[in-house]
Structure 1
Amino acid sequence: MFEMKEEYKTGIKKIDVEHEKLFEIGERAYQLLKDKYINDKFDKIVTIIGELREYTVHHFAEEEAYMESINYKRLFTQKMDHIGFIKKIDEVNFNEIDKNQDEAIMGLLTFLNDWLVNHILEKDLLIPVK
């Protein structure tokens, strides 16, 4: 389900490698959803969400530093999108996750896939390669 497709590549190696890592995190969440042999997935979900947040903070800082280095005119818009993403992750209700774990994973997957694909295609592909 989660894979870094050729059409998502910006041509900026560091950004593409980091996007690949975000897709890998999403793929691990997807594999967890499919695993019917694990009854209690809560700890694994929390770990994935924590890793996702930590890595996106790192990635966004790197991406924004690159955009700043080339005086990218859409940097502010990118920053606002990035802040919105982190805010959404920070608003995760862990009590709700524990009540219906598979539904929580599906919600996370839908959000992550939609956000990643749309953000890359609509925003990141516009970033010039220096």
Structure 2
Amino acid sequence: MGFDIPEPYVWDESFKVFYDNLDEEHKSLFKAVFDCAGDRGSSDKLANLVSVTVNHFTNEEAMMQKAKYSDFPAHKSAHEGFVAKIKGLKTPLDDATVHFAKEWLVNHIKTTDFKYKGSL
């Protein structure tokens, strides 16, 4: 059981982590997942999702390391699991895969990311 998945699938203020760069990157992640959901056969949109995700995780992890964030190892592990999953995907994406990506991002931000508010 997790948080409600917004439909349409777009970032809103309830996902705010209060680091402008990370909030902007989260908006891009939502858009990339939204784009994949809307065009499940597009390998370009899937490749963009992977790229946007890897870039965001790299930036977020760098901020965590700089701040000596105590939950960094577990957070990085969650990132690695998601990246491994999306890198292994092939188009066309099925309903379960789209739902997984939407749900993972919503729950990751609202649980795991929210833990670092004010700590980075």
- The residue number in structure 2 matching 1:52 is 49
- The residue number in structure 1 matching 2:113 is 124
For residues 53-101 of structure 1, give each alpha carbon's deviation from its aligned partner in whole angstroms, at most 9, with x where no partner exists.
1111110000001111111100101100010011101222x3xx4xxx4
Structure with greater proportional helix content: 1
- The residue number in structure 1 matching 2:21 is 14
Q: What is the TM-score of this pair, normalised by structure 2?
A: 0.84
RMSD: 1.5
Partner of residue 87 from structure 2, selected from 90, 93, 96? 90
**Counterpart-to-counterpart distance in 2, 1:48 and 1:105:** 14
Unaligned stretches of 5+ residues in structure 2: 1-7
The structure whose Rg is larger is 1
**Counterpart-to-counterpart distance in 2, 1:3 and 1:67:** 25
1:105 is displaced (CA, Å) by 4.2
**Counterpart-to-counterpart distance in 2, 1:21 and 1:31:** 15
**Counterpart-to-counterpart distance in 1, 2:13 and 2:31:** 15
- The residue number in structure 2 matching 1:38 is none
- The residue number in structure 1 matching 2:4 is none
**Counterpart-to-counterpart distance in 2, 1:3 and 1:89:** 19
**Counterpart-to-counterpart distance in 2, 1:89 and 1:31:** 16
Unaligned stretches of 5+ residues in structure 1: 34-41
Aligned length: 112
